[in-house]
Structure 1
Amino acid sequence: MISKSTIEKVFDIARVEEVIGDFVQLKKSGSNFKGLSPFTEERTPSFMVSPVKQIWKDFSSGKGGNAVSFIMEHEHFSYPEAIKYLAKRYGIEIEETEQTDEEKQKASEKESQFLVSEFAKTFFEDQLFNTTEGKQIGLSYFKERGFTTETIKDFSLGYSPDQWHAFTDEALKKGYQLNYLEKTGLSIVKGDKKFDRFKGRVIFPIFSMSGRVLGFGGRILKNDPKAAKYLNSPESEIYHKSKVLYGLYQAKKYIAKEDNCYLVEGYTDVIQFFQTGVKNVVASSGTALTPDQIRLINRLTPNITVLFDGDAAGIRASLRGIDLILEQGMNVKVCTFPAGEDPDSFAKNNNEVELKAYLNDNATDFIQFKASLLAESAINDPIRKAEVTREIVNSISLIPNEIQQEIYIKECARIMNVSEEVLFSSLAQILAKKQRDESKKKYAPEKPMALVKPEENQVKAEAVDPKYILERKIISLLLKHGHERNVFNDVVIDIDENEEIIYKNLEVECSVYDKIYKDLQDDETEFSNPIFSELHKKIEVELASKGKIEVNAFLQSLSQDEATEVTHILMEDEKEKLHRWQDANIFVTDKSILDPKEVVQTILSMRRLLIKEKVNQFGEKIKTNPNEDVFQILTEIKDYKQLEVIISKRLDRVL
């Protein structure tokens, strides 16, 4: 268990905009920040972060919360794991009691795999630095590559002994289950026999964006024609190679800072660049680039520079992957190295200044690069030239921005010596075909249409619950304005000397909290929604004791469901700011300013609803109890209906 004082320190020190900024590129938007959702595939920002309230809201997925809940959602951490992660990030010492064996056994399947992977990383590091074999073979190899001890430790590089089951035996001895060693691919199990997957290899741990060990890459050092040079962890519950980029954990803050990401192919390319001083670099680890990997980068920057060695055949094979980047609306540049050089060797043979100068001078816009590259292969061949031109226009058609499309068409026309009109016509044909295909896909029935009887398979739309809406509105008013004072126009019902009902207008100056509390007490109103009921009680205590709600501290006192609801309520007004209505001269009412009329109308609407419920109850009473005094009941119904008429008039509603 983590001590309460540690949790309080984490909440006090952790800044939600800093925590989320490690995973999402945030841009200032008024007093808030906005960015692309890390939970959905989107191109228009719908993710909002409020530094003032210390909360976030993702309008595309509906998720929201504070710094801790973001880490829980994004990294699939438990609450204690999220607290530990933030404590480590902010250098807070964690006070906790040791886990019992029973608590360890209760760890989830996924968490058990993470624990095994973390142990493996530590084991491999220890073998590299503290054993004779590790030093002579593994450490010597890394030193020959030019890696310093600091760099080796930055990337947690390691060594797996050249023995059949040295790692497996040590893991079992430490109490880790063979089941999880096999599921993570660290151990291979065949009947009664157990083998280490990475036997005799130097190890490259692969981290998540938050620094958790997902898997490993291993390079063999001896000549063995039967063994693969590089070996990766197999797919598992925690490791999906198509969704991971090597080096992203180390590079993420530099990518956001430089607003650019260099994309290379291998582990050593990343490490050598990082050591030389270019730290905004990641690798696809030998796999073809995937949309998931591209989205990881897009959350940090819209700019990618793809680095190739001088192998022309390899470059052409990679062009399709770059089309995926264009499709995401990102800006792509390409940089090639001199013949015989690759990113690893070039970074090793040049210092930081020379490397950065080369990258700046030789990075070319991708469309220009592709056009120039393909044009060379079509010299004096009209048919090939037509094919190449069509291929380049296809790439341009993937770009969502029409202005960029036009600029690239003109540049392509210049390079290929083809008229702009022909290229624009070709682009229009490609785009029209795409639109037709999408329409067919959208409207084509998945199965043959069948007649359905009216009474069967009818899905009824959920009825709107007016009480839920009003209760939520009351909670919203208390959260946002509970402490604010204002003048409220009210009506007092009285009896004159002729025993006629009269209504007197009355101005009351008080806080929103006092106004709502008094009126709900007068009406003996109870919340029907359990979450709102609990929130109402807790808000009352907070306002009565402190006079104001401190959002960050208040969220700590709530259950997960309550905290989620509070976050949704506090951030719902921010949604309008995402649309930039003011740019179109459409001005949205500022809902952060208290409107006393809104408070009164909410309470009146609640009263009107309660009256309707009361009248319905009387009606049921007459039906079920015919012996009751019907005249008296009808008189009460009449009085309630008169009151409903008065409230409806005040609400400008017609009965």
Structure 2
Amino acid sequence: MRFSQDFIERVSEANNIVDIISQYTQLKPSGSGLMGRCPFPDHAEKTASFSVSETKQVYHCFGCHKSGNMFSFLRDYQGMSFPEAVEYLAGRASIPMPAPEAQDNQQVDQAAEKKKSLLKVNKLAANYFSEQLKRVPYDHPVKKYIASRGLSQEVIELFGIGYAIAEWDGLEKHLAAQKVPMPLAEEARLVKARTNKSGYFDIFRDRLMFPIFSPMGEPIAFGGRYLEKKETEPKYLNSPETPVFIKGRVLYGLSQTARYIRSEDMALIVEGYMDLVSLYQSGIKNVVATMGTALTPDHGKMLKRMTKNVVALFDGDSAGMEAAERSLPILLAADLYPKGLTLPNGMDPDDYVKKYGADALKVELERAPDLFAMILARWMESYRGEASEKVKLADKLKPLFVVIPDLRLRDLYLAEAAQKMGVTLPWLRQAVGIQGSGPVYSQNKPAMSRTISSSGTGPVANQNPTEEASSSGVDGKISLKGASKAELLLLGLVLKSRANFDQFVNEKVDESIAHPGVKKILEKALDVYRQDLNKFDKLTSLLVSYVDQPEYLFEAGPTGPTDPGFDEETEMKLLRDCFKRVRQDFLKEKSKQLARDLKTEPSSEKLEQIMNIQRNRISLNKG
């Protein structure tokens, strides 16, 4: 769902980033903001370096350089998509979600109320299952099973693990006592109407219960594992789909593990609840699980929001390999880099970790081959290189090559397959219906040329005004790559305070900004500022979403704003030095370009321009 900018700003203004981040780390007043230890799992620190500005509604860690606003924090820490973050924050502020234009408002309101009611029932059920687990004695089979799997109380509470008692109507009685209508509980797939007599019975009975959470941390469904094998019942019983739970759009454990997937830049995909919980318990926390269903395109999109690197862990039997084959085109189509791993002797992840240790599994994960190579090897197990086999194998490969969006990866896979099949690359391209030949690197635009300033201020973008340098970065964000240190420092300083920004505007320094990304960010800032002068404090929060390296919007100097010696006088001197350095660099590059042009196309006008630039440079050096 797309939201208007007005709605997003309304949601943002109704929430406080301090309240959100304070749930995960303790923040204490420090200077004009708050400081605390970085909450991100890949940055273990003893001293506080994580800064939160309540005024600007942004955060920045001076240790690991993670930066952003409340939306990016929920994305990076909780694994929420932007629409999910907006919905979550709207719910916190009791702001009703906007109705889709094409639907009747009354129908939308009814659907929203129904979802809210179902979520409430699921929460009551989750609390009930959790309480039942606490109440059973230590010699109960469920407690013995938990002990045999080595699950700690901390992990049990984190994942909300509970127990559904063996009685037919334990949950039904509890929900009735809470005045929950049974038809609503049935729609939540928690109870079922009896066929031969009136009343309802529990769907989950005598099972270890695993709540399935949305990215917002709300229980939306359940999975139940039997304690003793029963021939007539499946090992795992999963909630059927409901208006709040669609299996193909949910990965188990993601709300607890998203922060670790981002910090490790890799997601391990397993097949069951207990596999995930056991791995988490062992210290392997960047893991998600499917729930009795194959991977879907929506799963692939969810994973790509956090990382492009995935390792799918499969059983070594034929069913596991078939699952691997089904997963490969989905993961490739999602523009991921999938690897595959099968454990020896039919072991599940918990068995392997218990026998060999988590470190041994981490080593196996690092060695995991490309899933493409693994599947290709399986398809070629009895391959003899006969003509008919080559054609059949090319037909099996064709659906894979068609879906790969990254042409570089596709070409490398084509070359690998051609070499192993014993065919030429042009033949395989034609056989799978791909036109052209050779690598695709030459199809990319040439990288922007750079020079190194003689003053040692770092790389400077080509400042030829006749060339259009691209400012687009990853995922369409504005790239700051290649900007000089002076321009990056200037960017942080002018966004630090309104006085600095006014000084920047009044002296028209924007005319001397050379790097296209820095220039574009400052132009956006100017547009917002001119529309409403009172929006200055929100500038940084608004700009964070546009930049590929948002940390440069925060770092206001080599010592940093947390240094007690960083006073107003020092800051103003640094700002003026930045203005001077930026202007000097701009004039220097402009002079070089005019000199090059003068050699190829002599003119008195260009010569006069060079002389004027030289006079301006001398004037700046004297100032």
Q: TM-score range by the shorter chain?
A: 0.5 to 0.7
What residue is the counterpart of 2:203 in the other structure?
197
Matched, 1:146 2:150: yes
State the SS of the aligned residue for 2:346: coil
Asked if 1 retains the 8 angstrom alpha-carbon contact of 2:15 and 2:93, the reply is no
Residues 406-444 of structure 1: CA distance to partner in whole angstroms, max 9, x if unpaired? 211111122222222211222345899xxxxxxxxxxxx
Partner AA of 2:214 in structure 1: S
Is this contact kept in 2: 1:218–1:231, CA < 8 A? yes
Alpha-carbon distance between aligned partners in 2 of 1:573 and 1:224, rounded to the nearest angstrom:
52
Residue 571 of structure 1 and its aligned partner are, at CA, apart by 5.8
Change (3 A) 1:375 1:138: same
After superposition, residues 396-545 of structure 1 pair within 5 angstroms as 396-429=401-434, 484=502
Q: What CA deviation, in whole Å up to 9, does each residue of 1:350-395 have, x standing for no partner?
A: 222112112212x001221121111104347653443123312431
Classify 1:221/1:116 alpha carbon distance in 2 versus 1 (closer, same or farther; 3 Å): same
Q: Name the CA shift for 1:374/1:22 in 2 (closer, same or farther; >3 Å).
A: farther
* Residue 375 (structure 2) aligns with: 370
- Structure-2 residue corresponding to 1:520: none
Q: Does 1:136 align with 2:140?
A: yes
1:174 is displaced (CA, Å) by 2.4
Change (3 A) 1:154 1:381: farther
SS of the equivalent of 1:257 reads helix
Secondary structure at the counterpart of residue 236 of structure 1:
coil
Q: Which amino acid aligns with 1:231?
A: L
Aligned residue number for residue 583 of structure 2? none
**8 A contact 1:262–1:304 mirrored in 2:** yes
- Structure 2 CA distance for partners of 1:378 and 1:400, relative to 1, 3 Å: same
- Cα distance between partner residues in 1 of 2:211 and 2:191: 16
2:174 aligned with 1:161:
no
Amino acid at match of 1:411: E
Provide, for residues 511-535 of structure 1, a one-character-per-residue CA deviation record: whole Å limited to 9, x for no partner. xxxxxxxxxxxxxxxxxxxxxxxx9
Q: 1:452 — aligned with what?
A: none
1:107-130 deviation line (CA, Å, top 9, x unaligned): 932222112111211111111121
Note if contact 2:394-2:432 (Cα within 8 Å) is conserved in structure 1. no
Asked if 1 retains the 8 angstrom alpha-carbon contact of 2:71 and 2:85, the reply is: no
Matches within 5 A, 1:337-348: 337-348=343-354
Letter of the structure 2 residue corresponding to residue 260 of structure 1:
M
Contact 2:266 2:307 survives alignment (8 Å): yes
Q: Which residue of 1 aligns with 2:192?
A: 188
Partner of 1:108, secondary structure, is helix
Q: Is the 8 A contact 1:121 1:205 kept in 2?
A: yes
Residue 410 to residue 55, structure 1, CA distance change in 2 (3 Å) = closer
Offset at 1:245? Answer: 0.5
Q: SS of 2:345's equivalent?
A: coil
Tell me if the contact between 1:128 and 1:135 (Cα under 8 Å) persists in the aligned partners.
Answer: no
Using structure 1 for the length normalisation, give the TM-score. Answer: 0.54
| 8 Å contact kept, 2:250–2:299 | yes
Residue 146 of structure 1 deviates from its aligned partner by: 3.1
Shift of 1:342: 2.4
Residue 303 of structure 2 aligns with which residue? 297
Instruction: Answer with 1 or 2: which has the greater Rg.
Output: 1
Alignment RMSD: 4.4
Q: 1:79 to 1:14 in 2, by over 3 A?
A: closer
CA gap 1:146/1:321 in 2 versus in 1, 3 angstroms: same
In structure 2, relative to structure 1, the CA distance for the partners of 1:373 and 1:256 (3 Å cut) is same
Kindly indicate whether residue 86 of structure 2 is the aligned counterpart of residue 73 of structure 1: yes
1:214 aligned to which of 200, 215, 220: 220
Residue 258 of structure 2 aligns with which residue? 252
8 Å contact kept, 1:371–1:415: no
Return the alpha-carbon distance in structure 1 between the equivalents of residues 166 and 299 of structure 2: 33
Residue correspondence of structure 1 range 83-94 to structure 2 within 5 A: none
The aligned amino acid for 1:305 is V
Question: 1:283 aligns to what?
Answer: 289
User: Whole-Å Cα distance in 1 between the matches of residues 86 and 376 of structure 2?
Assistant: 43
Counterpart for residue 179 of structure 1: 183
- Segments of structure 1 that go 5 or more residues without pairing to the other structure are 1-6, 24-49, 57-66, 84-104, 433-479, 489-534, 556-566, 579-592, 594-655
1:123 is the counterpart of 2:128:
yes
Percent identity of equivalent pairs: 28
The 8 Å contact of residues 69 and 544 in structure 2, kept in 1 or not, is answered as: no
Q: Any conservation in 1 of the 2:172–2:200 contact (CA below 8 Å)?
A: yes
**CA distance in 2 between partners of 1:22 and 1:399 (Å):** 36
Measured in 2, the distance between the counterparts of 1:207 and 1:55 equals 19
CA distance in 2 between partners of 1:221 and 1:344 (Å): 17
3-state SS of 2:432 partner: helix
User: Is 1:390 paired with 2:395?
Assistant: yes
Q: Offset of 1:14 from its aligned partner?
A: 4.4
1:42-61, aligned counterparts within 5 Å? none
> d(CA) in 2 for partners of 1:108 and 1:208?
17
SS in structure 1 at match of 2:327 = helix
Whole-Å Cα distance in 1 between the matches of residues 248 and 261 of structure 2?
20
8 Å contact kept, 1:309–1:336: yes
2:315 alignment partner AA: D
Q: Look up the match of 1:35.
A: none
Q: So what's the TM-score if we normalise by structure 2?
A: 0.56
Quick one: distance in 2 between partners of 1:226 and 1:573? 53
Rounded to whole Å, the distance in 1 between the matches of 2:299 and 2:545 is 32
AA partner of residue 338 (structure 2): V
Give the CA deviation at 1:308.
1.2
How many residues are treated as equivalent by the alignment? 402
Contact in 1 for aligned 2:294/2:326 (Cα 8 Å)? no
The Cα offsets for residues 606-640 of structure 1, whole Å up to 9 and x where unpaired, read as xxxxxxxxxxxxxxxxxxxxxxxxxxxxxxxxxxx
Instruction: Indicate the residue corresponding to 1:229 in structure 2.
Output: 235
**Residues 168 and 54 of structure 1: is their aligned pair in 2 closer, same or farther, counting only changes over 3 Å?**
closer
Q: Which amino acid aligns with 2:294?
A: A
